[in-house]
Amino acid sequence: MNRVTEMELMRLLHGELPEGRARELRDRMERDPELAATYARLARTWEGLELPPAAPAPPGFAQRIAARAREQRSGGALSWTAAPGWVRAAAAAALVAGTALGVGAGSWIHRSPAALEESPEVSASEATFETTLAESYWDAIGELP
């Protein structure tokens, strides 16, 4: 038996197999005793699984958590000092990346055809914003080889 068939048997056992495929697999199990035995073994194994009982919290756990929350509280507001170092580093990196992206997108100026006809040397301050960012994107894609 291959792995795909075994996965289909597990999906049948869990009720995840589409009805048509489930019917085909049941018909095949009636004709193939080895397949039926494998399904029975999987069903016994699945039914025999039990979750272990929930472990009780260690003594004093709730008090330690409450004490730590009181230590880290700073006037009821969130504090950067309470955040782990990696969170602060990720926030700083996101801020820098966002700023760079904003500056890059802001400096991407598309000149209007009228401004180009007047003077090909139009400065960035004289350029106009007659096209949208999406139009500029598709223009740039169209220029690719």
For 10, other C-beta atoms within 10 Å of its C-beta total 15
C-alpha span between 128 and 4 (Å, rounded) = 61
Closest CA relative to residue 39, chosen from 62, 14, 19:
14
pLDDT digits (tens, 9 = 90+) for 14-28: 888 899 999 999 999
- Residue ranges, the chain, pLDDT below 70: 1, 73-78, 104-138, 145
What is the rounded CA–CA span in Å between residue 88 and residue 98?
15
| Residue matched to tokens 């699945």 | 46
> Given this model, what pLDDT does residue 30 score?
94
Q: Name the burial class of residue 23, with classes exposed (0-12), middle (13-18) and buried (19+) by CB atoms within 10 angstroms of its CB.
A: exposed
